[in-house]
Structure 1
């Protein structure tokens, strides 16, 4: 038996034009949240595998197991976080989502440093510590990222404004990836002991991360009226709700391929510059041009979406990135050519990655239209579930791939390294370029053939939902016939 949704209290429903323009300040503040997120999240995706293999002494295959198992575990934490925020009362001047996001981000920063520590014991002890610390990190990440991601859907219902929020969010994310890509390893190398260097670098990035979330906490408002559901959530009801949302299901399928491609690139570029380009100092240079170029692409998202629509721009971005990665695999390795194509790949993938957040907000509205109940937290958490699975795939592909090609860490003196060099180089190149090419091609095809919404259609659905709820409110008034 489902009880009627509990109306949001007036304090969480300030007078606002839900289709009006958001201030530049609120857009920047929202984007800074994903920058803060990136300063903690990107470290695990880009440098934790390197830390595990070359500092903690964990075998690549075992390290891959850490990523696969913990990311799948984390994926199941996202629905828990989603249910938690959906069933919170919306009272208070800070709203429903922001307090959870802020407090969790502080704990997440502490766990970020903890993941880059190692007991220095046997391989088994180090491996157990890696599992425990990264699983704990994942739980806090869910309770930080789910409310943050849900926040956009209650800031506005205007498709154009949501596209702009998505572009600001992606700009914040890429800025974090750019800064960590340039600064993290130089900080590590500033210390004679890399164990100290990794922990120090992680600590510095985590502090900046908290500052980013605080900017979002202070600079954004929840204005979309939200009904808090008091129904008991069951697994069957959960599955039914998600199963009715075709738009969300397509985004989940697309994301498994797109995010796994996106996340394997920073994980492998550390190895690629070290071995294939034979100059670890080039890591900062390649990241500067590659990731920096994608920031320029993000700035074009609002105008491109306004002219062509979110779906069309996202598909075009997938195509550009897939072609660039394919060429990088086929052409002989050259630093200049690789960097140019690497940059084009990041430009291409920045478009769908930025637009995806607006698509998720549209999926929330679509689910509201279909079911009559608005569940930002659960919808976003299920989308984030797919991202965690994709991250598990990327981490597993990188770690198991390194093991499969016979990668031997630099600190070892295994003579087999010389005999395996050619195969290792080709294997690293395949993981860096061929895997993303294939995965991005599939992601684009899924979006092209299966995604049901256009910008025009989502505007119609929002209007229909409002009219239906207005009619229901009138019929429920005392004396109404």
Structure 2
């Protein structure tokens, strides 16, 4: 490892020890913050369009593909589970490779922006193809089609969204602005969820034909097509408004999967936030994957999907407006931890609500939604972990680090969809039939109780994160000094 200079030469081991102990608030001259490169206001606002676009495709896939496979295509829960888990196992290899490739990309548009522009049309296309059943029924050809289209859709999500996530860490050198950028993303995500969750059921029914009480395959496919057409220009807005300011580390070496994984595993703070994200995403995205079963069978109405799944997203948009303020006052870790604990309380309110007590169900949804503000904090914490590792090793791993976020998102969606549907089957769920009381209780457990417990687990895991925001600022200043000395 290279020596690093902070007034006097220190060995890498000494630097690592100091990094673990952290520098005091007065160790660096804070006036150097004036020289930070900042993203434009337009870039901060428009960055959220990328996650808005992603929700049009991936939230629709996550919310409706499971029920499309079971109730339209006719696949058994075991087959659906195998398809989703198999695709995510494949992602465990693909995601870090994509991150490493993006880190080593050198183009006139930067390292990450090209993948957003050139990958989004493919993602949009396969977002539609997953909702097409050309072979009619659960034949072997139909199963193969489902495997191929879902897997490729996941790969293309990786190609676009890992560079998109990594982009937030290189658009600015200012920690507060990173929080604003990731808050913009969270707002975009939740606006996308509001639109998808409020409009999808109605659109699917509209395109299913007059008199349809539930959506048909054609209804799902046409809805996916509309969302995909909208998503492409939104991705392009991010490409044209953003710029990459943070210089790459020494990542010009040839790609090595072993070295890439080693860089990730050795970054203790990245491992902590990855664990938090895995639980957080399994609770959140996993719940989305099976929430339609709760609304249709427990609450008794397909059309109420729009209401129940939109309320949390509206609350999240409102709550996100206050995130930068509370992040400054309480710190990123505490905002994340407390928000997940209160989300768990909201889900417990829903879980204990009688199915005919809509006021109590809606109250729980509101509590769950208003405090759905943890995602910007986890993204900013990933950026802090990247800075921490760069100071220790001299290597900046934006792409591979943010690959953990993309993998956690898809893993959570898959676990919720695959294990969730298996649990529903174990509780006695039968597609397109009147459910038994035991099956209804099982649906409620899978959709509300289990995610609540996962949120509590993620909140407890936050206690392992010992890096304060002030210490993260010191690390960034140290990196700036180091680069200035090299130049």
TM-score (norm 2): 0.88
- 1:280 CA displacement: 1.6
Match of 1:327 in 2: 349
1:292 to 2:309 alignment: no
1:428 to 2:443 alignment: yes
1:471 to 2:485 alignment: yes
C-alpha distance in 2, partners of 1:472/1:377?
A: 23
C-alpha distance in 1, partners of 2:298/2:404?
A: 38
Q: Which of 95, 102, 113 is equivalent to 1:98?
A: 113
- Secondary structure at the aligned position of 2:484 is classed as helix
Match of 2:36 in 1: 19
1:67 to 2:89 alignment: no
Check the 8 A contact 1:39/1:176 in 2, yes or no.
Answer: yes
Equivalences for residues 313-392 of structure 1 within 5 A: 313-333=335-355, 334-348=357-371, 350-392=372-414
- Secondary structure at the aligned position of 1:233 is classed as coil
Match of 1:396 in 2: 418
- 1:360 CA displacement: 1.3
- 1:248 CA displacement: 0.5
Q: Which of 140, 154, 159 is equivalent to 1:143?
A: 159
Match of 1:254 in 2: 276
Q: Would you identify which runs of 4 or more consecutive aligned residues in structure 1 move more than 6 Å?
A: none
Equivalences for residues 5-404 of structure 1 within 5 A: 19=36, 21-89=38-106, 91-92=107-108, 94-118=109-133, 119-192=135-208, 194-227=216-249, 229-333=251-355, 334-348=357-371, 350-404=372-426
Change (3 A) 1:471 1:122: closer
Change (3 A) 1:17 1:86: farther
C-alpha distance in 1, partners of 2:67/2:158?
A: 24
- 1:362 CA displacement: 1.3
Match of 2:21 in 1: none
Q: Which moved more, 1:49-58 or 1:183-192?
A: 183-192
Match of 1:446 in 2: 461
- Secondary structure at the aligned position of 1:190 is classed as helix
Check the 8 A contact 2:387/2:476 in 1, yes or no.
Answer: yes
C-alpha distance in 2, partners of 1:302/1:221?
A: 22
- 1:33 CA displacement: 0.8
- 1:207 CA displacement: 1.2
| CA deviations over 1:289-324 (Å, ceiling 9, x no partner) | 222111101111111111111111111101101112
C-alpha distance in 2, partners of 1:439/1:354?
A: 19
C-alpha distance in 1, partners of 2:137/2:73?
A: 9
| CA deviations over 1:163-194 (Å, ceiling 9, x no partner) | 11111001001111110001112111113361
C-alpha distance in 2, partners of 1:18/1:379?
A: 26
Check the 8 A contact 1:187/1:197 in 2, yes or no.
Answer: yes
- 1:275 CA displacement: 1.1
C-alpha distance in 1, partners of 2:51/2:137?
A: 35
Check the 8 A contact 1:86/1:228 in 2, yes or no.
Answer: no
- 1:436 CA displacement: 0.8
| CA deviations over 1:180-215 (Å, ceiling 9, x no partner) | 001112111113361111110001011111121011
C-alpha distance in 1, partners of 2:349/2:86?
A: 33
C-alpha distance in 2, partners of 1:227/1:239?
A: 17
Change (3 A) 1:278 1:187: same
Check the 8 A contact 2:101/2:255 in 1, yes or no.
Answer: no
Check the 8 A contact 1:241/1:371 in 2, yes or no.
Answer: no
C-alpha distance in 1, partners of 2:390/2:50?
A: 26
- Secondary structure at the aligned position of 1:153 is classed as coil
- Secondary structure at the aligned position of 1:355 is classed as helix
Change (3 A) 1:113 1:18: farther
- 1:20 CA displacement: 5.4
Match of 1:477 in 2: none
Pairwise CA RMSD: 1.9
C-alpha distance in 2, partners of 1:17/1:97?
A: 26
- Secondary structure at the aligned position of 1:55 is classed as helix
TM-score (norm 1): 0.89
- Secondary structure at the aligned position of 1:280 is classed as coil
